[in-house]
Structure formats: C-alpha cells, structure tokens
Amino acid sequence: MNYSEVQHKISQEEKTWLITGVAGFIGSNLAEALISLGQKVIGFDNLSTGLRKNIQELQELGKNKFVFLEGDLANFEDVFKATEGVDYILHQGALGSVPRSLKEPLRYEEANIRGTNNLLEAMRLQNIKRIVFASSSSVYGDNQELPKIENQVGDPLSPYALSKKINEQMAEVYAKCYGIEYIGLRYFNVFGKRQDPDSTYAAVIPRWIKAMLHSEPLAIFGDGETSRDFCYIENVIQMNLLASCTQNEKALNQIFNCAFSQKTSLNELYQLIKTNLLEIDPSLEINAPEYKDFRPGDIRHSLASLDKAKRLLDYHPEFSLAEGLKKALPWYYKNLK
C-alpha cells in the first residue's frame, strides 16, 4: 500500500495506538497525525525532556481521542499499564544527543536500553503483535561508506549510538524467541515544528533558528563542511504509518533508514535558514557563524540510501530540506520571535 492508501485504511477503523515519548518533538507530531485520522492515542512520557505544552495541545486537539499517562519507561509497572488494550506501538521515548551521552552514559543504559527492553517484555505479556521504534543513523558509527545501507554498520562512537544498536538487537531477539513483529527506523536528523531549541543539546536547526531570530551568536563545530541528511517531520510520519500497517512480510523484523537522501553541509544549512528567515522578516540582524572545534563522537558525513525502504515499504518522502523549512519556519517565527 502507498501512503495515501495507508492513511485511508487507518481512518476507516479506530484503533488504539501507544506512543512513547509523546511529549517530545517526534512523538507529539505522530500523535497529532493519528488523532486527525480518527485514532485513539495513548501518550506515555516521563516529561524529562518532553514539554507539557505539547501534551496540552494534544488534549485540546484530541478531546476524547487522546489519553496521557505520565510514567517512566525504566519502570516496568508503568510500561505494563500503558500497554493494556493497545493495538499498535510507536516507540519514540528515549534520551537523545551524542554529546550528552558522553557525559552521562549510565542514564542512556537506563532510559534507552532498559526502557526498550521493558516495552518489548510488556508487549510479549500483553500479546501485542507489532512495534515500530525509533533507532538512529548514529548506529552506523565509524563506517565511512556513503550512502548508508542498512546492513553495513560500523562500531558505535557514543553511548547513545550503542544504546540504539542494542535496541535493534533486542527487538530481533524478541521476534525470534516470542514471535513479535518489529520495524526499526534509523532517523536521520529530523526537524520540524515543536522541536525544542532551548535544550542544552538541542538539534542544530531549531537552535540556529532561535539564534537568528534574536540576533544571538551561533556556532558551527568544525569547518562547516560536515554534512547531514536532514529529514522533515512529515516524512517521518509517513514512514511510521507505512511501517505500522505494512502487510509485506519481507518488511517485517527489519531495520530501515528514515531520511530524504540528500546531503547538506552545515555551511549550506546556515545560508538556507538565513535566506528563508529574511524572506519572512527582512529586518532581522543575523550574525555570521562562529567556528569551533569538532565535537567528539560526531560523524563527518551522513547520507541515507532509501532503496530498501522504497522497495519494501513503498516509502517516498515528500519534503526536501528546503521544502520542509518553508513549512516549519513560520511556526518557529510565530512561537520563538
């Protein structure tokens, strides 16, 4: 089924979806998309990094379609309660950030590894058939090959990357031993509305947008020629729904890249954001970037192959970086200016 067919199918029958990390950027956008398709969403979050205002927006939007459960993935009782009566699981709850994981590695074992293991075990006990979970492009580690192909990974370069690699392996074990179905999505630099610019470890796009809106200094780590494959949130929503509903057995118990498959340097990204913001508000005074040392644990270049996702999931991302910024920047201007 293509994406429009999947959306139509979902809208025809109400199911119950559990979204972990629902107060976060990706989780809240997934919840909004499912509520708009007439689905019941159980949102689960401990609010350690997610925002309560995202929950409030979903409660206003969903009315009787959205239920929020505050709990911790590292607490099995919380997880077991959240999985009762669930048809589908979209597992987005995790601690992100490579730099933070280098400073606080034990927190990543607890939140990302134990948390995912608790969720898989609850699935087994509750007889929930399928989970779609967030992995990361960081799993490719020290593999230098481009584009990144799912079966060609290197050694992890950070505790965060290691936690995501272990998540993939745990899901594979539960599939082999207990018959659950999983699909893991390796996200590549996702961006869009609700992405928090205020965290110490905020992603580059919201952090730069806020800095430009307020004429604050902004930093580029390295020479600016480091490149990433930026993926707009609507592409991620498409991928999650395709993975949840696929009837292609060859797609089950597999890992897929979730990206746009376009390489953009940080220097190019800076110019693109600057140009688009000045179109919205020509009065902005935007500082030139300050170049700093490379950060430990960061990879130099990242670009995804989408061949597997296109072939097995019929994934066709609709929004490039430029198109995604056009849609996202008005939201940031309204909420951050």
71 assigned to some structural domain = yes
* 27 is a domain residue: yes
Domain assignment present for residue 248? The answer is yes
287 part of a folded domain: no
Residue 281 lies in a domain: no
- pLDDT per residue as tens digits for the range 145-184: 999 999 999 999 999 999 999 999 999 999 999 999 999 9
For residue 47, tell me if it sits in a domain: yes
What integer pLDDT is reported at residue 266 of this predicted model? 96
Give me the numbers of helices (H) and strands (E) for the chain, helices first please. 13, 13
Q: What is the mean pLDDT of the chain?
A: 95
**What is the domain extent for residue 137?**
3-191+232-259+306-318
| In the chain, alpha helices (H) | 3-11, 25-36, 52-62, 76-82, 98-103, 105-108, 115-126, 159-178, 204-213, 233-245, 266-280, 307-313, 321-336
Q: What residues have CB less than 8 Å from 72, skipping those under 6 apart?
A: 46, 78, 115
- The pLDDT value recorded for residue 63 is 83
* Helix (H), strand (E), coil (C) string for 114-136: HHHHHHHHHHHHHCCCEEEEEEE
Model confidence pLDDT, tens digit, residues 204-255: 999 999 999 999 999 999 999 999 999 999 999 999 999 999 999 999 999 9
Q: Which residues are catalytic?
A: 160
In a domain, 180, yes or no: yes
pLDDT score of 198:
84
Where residue 170 sits, what CATH number does that domain have? Answer: 3.40.50.720
List, in sequence order, every residue forming a beta bridge with 135; answer none if it has no partner: 186
- In-domain check, residue 74: yes
Number of domains in the chain: 1
